[in-house]
């Protein structure tokens, strides 16, 4: 039997899982939607990954990262649970040991990580404003009547990207409707959106940071060539996008699971574990988050959907 390691990166929009071998090669991977239920998503993820894994491998370590990392870590009995900053940095350094800046834009948040000689020296995260994230782009694509997969094609066709105020979702949406009604070409609006995502990111997440190359761009939005193009243009630097850029957090945590393995062999049989979920709308502030509280034996072990730390229990 060969040893392998499972890494799970679970966010509010997407759930990513990879299985790596002892040389950090990805031998199985999956990217699915979390659909508001991390427990259900991780069940599906694990069952699918089991089918994809070669039969001569055994799991010797499990790591979890992402906003539901503690809950999922408990569920999978992970030997390591770490935040996304660490996981992304470890994953990226494995492929690009000289990386200086990591740009990351995911489904509902974005981050920047500065690295010097393989060590994290600074970072910033934006979890509160959805403008400029994957979910923002998906909803705008829907509004324009185009598939998100076709976003890049439209953006790259444009010669005159329109200016779109992307400071926040409300402004961006009303500006977009206005531009669409004013008769602008679809490709110019899409390109304008990609450009505004980059500007929004640099003005908020990247504010005050010295962005130097090599720069690696990851997270789901890194697959959008329009956004990559405007990062290159505005930063005047080459932007590296790895083929596994959407899985980098999961890869990083799988590498750490290997490093901190305990000798245990995992079966990945989690279907028997039962968790109770109770949804409610928090009125603690104007965000009005739809919070899903998760209970095990009548004890709340985690909450989901909250945009602040109000329900952080673990
Ligand atoms: S969980 Fe409640 S207090 Fe926290 S951001 Fe959401 S609505 Fe506001």
Domains, the chain, ranges and CATH? 2-87+250-259 (3.30.420.40), 98-241 (3.30.420.40), 274-314 (no CATH)
Beta pairing class for 26-33 and 57-65: unpaired
Place of tokens 């199985």: 28
Tell me, using a 6 A CB cutoff, whether residue 101 lines ligand 1.
Answer: no
Report yes or no: 112 and 99 within 8 Å, Cβ to Cβ. no
Q: How confident is the model at residue 107 (pLDDT cuts 50, 70, 90)?
A: confident
* Ligand 1 pocket residue status of 284, Cβ below 6 Å: yes
% of the chain exceeding 70 in pLDDT: 92
> 314 CB under 6 A from ligand 1?
no
At residue 314, the pLDDT reads: 45
Q: Whose CA is nearest to atom 4 of ligand 1?
A: 308
Name the nearest CA neighbour of 13 among 147, 103, 110.
Answer: 110
| DSSP-derived pairing of the beta strands 110-116 and 101-105 | antiparallel
Q: Would the pLDDT of 163 be above 80?
A: yes
Which residues lie below 8 Å from residue 272, measured CB to CB, with a gap of 6+? none
Q: Residue 249 pLDDT more than 70?
A: yes
Helix axes 69-76 and 38-52, enclosed angle (nearest 10): 50
CB of 141 within 8 A of CB of 147?
yes
- Residues 176 and 145: their CA atoms lie apart, in Å, by 13
β-partners of residue 103 are 112, 217
For residue 147, is pLDDT > 60?
yes
Pick the residue whose CA is nearest to atom 3 on ligand 1: 284
Q: Is the pLDDT of residue 94 over 80?
A: yes
Q: Helix 186-204 vs helix 169-181: angle between axes, to the nearest 10 degrees?
A: 160
Comparing CA positions, the residue from 68, 53, 62, 61 lying closest to residue 109 is 68
Does the beta carbon of 234 sit less than 6 angstroms from any atom of ligand 1? Answer: no
pLDDT score at 174: 72
Beta-strand relationship, 57-65 and 2-10:
parallel
- Position 252 scores a pLDDT of 98
Q: pLDDT tier at 192 (50, 70, 90 boundaries)?
A: confident
Give yes or no for residue 279 CB within 6 A of ligand 1.
Answer: no
Per-residue pLDDT tens for 149-159?
A: 787 888 888 88
Distance between Cα 163 and ligand 1 center (Å)? 32
- Does 2 sit in the ligand 1 pocket, CB within 6 Å? no
- At residue 130, the pLDDT reads 62
Chain mean pLDDT for the chain: 87
Q: What atom of ligand 1 comes closest to residue 308's alpha carbon?
A: 4
Tokens 């060590």, residue located: 119
Hunting for tokens 């929009």 — which residue is that? 13
Higher pLDDT, 130 or 163: 163
How many Å lie between the centroid of ligand 1 and the Cα of residue 18?
Answer: 32
Residue listed under structure tokens 């965000």: 287
Contact assessment for residue 96 and residue 60, using Cβ atoms and an 8 Å cutoff: no
- Ligand 1 centre from 70 Cα, in Å? 19
Q: Is 310 touching ligand 1 by the criterion CB < 6 Å?
A: yes
**Token match 């990609």: residue?**
194
295 within 8 A of 311, measured Cβ to Cβ: no
Kindly report the protein residue whose alpha carbon is nearest to atom 6 of ligand 1: 289
């Amino acid at each position: 039997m060969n040893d392998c390691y499972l890494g799970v990166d679970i966010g509010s929009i997407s759930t990513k899982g990879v299985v790596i071998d002892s040389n950090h090669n990805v031998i199985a991977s999956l990217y699915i939607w979390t659909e508001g239920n991390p427990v259900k998503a991780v069940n599906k993820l694990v069952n699918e990954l089991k089918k994809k894994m070669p039969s001569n491998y055994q799991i010797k370590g499990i790591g979890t990262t992402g906003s539901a990392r503690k809950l999922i870590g408990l569920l999978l009995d992970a030997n390591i649970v770490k935040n996304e900053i660490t996981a992304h940095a470890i994953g990226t350094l494995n492929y690009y040991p000289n990386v200086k800046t990591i740009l990351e834009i995911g489904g509902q948040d974005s981050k920047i990580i500065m690295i010097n000689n393989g060590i994290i020296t600074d970072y910033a995260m934006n979890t509160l404003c959805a403008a400029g994230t994957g979910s923002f782009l998906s909803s705008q694509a829907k509004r324009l009547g185009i598939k998100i997969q076709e976003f890049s094609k439209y953006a790259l066709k444009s010669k005159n990207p329109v200016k779109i105020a992307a400071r926040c979702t409300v402004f961006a949406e009303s500006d977009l409707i206005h531009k669409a009604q004013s008769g602008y070409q679809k490709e110019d609006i899409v390109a304008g959106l990609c450009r505004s995502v980059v500007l929004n990111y640099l003005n908020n997440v990247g504010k005050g940071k010295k962005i130097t190359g090599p720069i690696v761009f990851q997270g789901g939005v890194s697959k959008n060539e329009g956004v990559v193009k405007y990062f290159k243009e505005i930063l005047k630097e080459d932007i590296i996008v790895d083929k596994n850029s959407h899985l980098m957090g999961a890869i990083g945590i799988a590498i750490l699971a290997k490093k901190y393995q305990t000798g245990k062999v995992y079966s990945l049989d989690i279907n028997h574990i039962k968790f109770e979920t109770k949804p409610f709308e928090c009125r603690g502030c104007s965000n009005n988050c739809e919070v899903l509280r998760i209970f095990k034996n009548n004890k709340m072990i985690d909450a989901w959907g909250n945009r602040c730390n109000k329900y952080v229990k673990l």
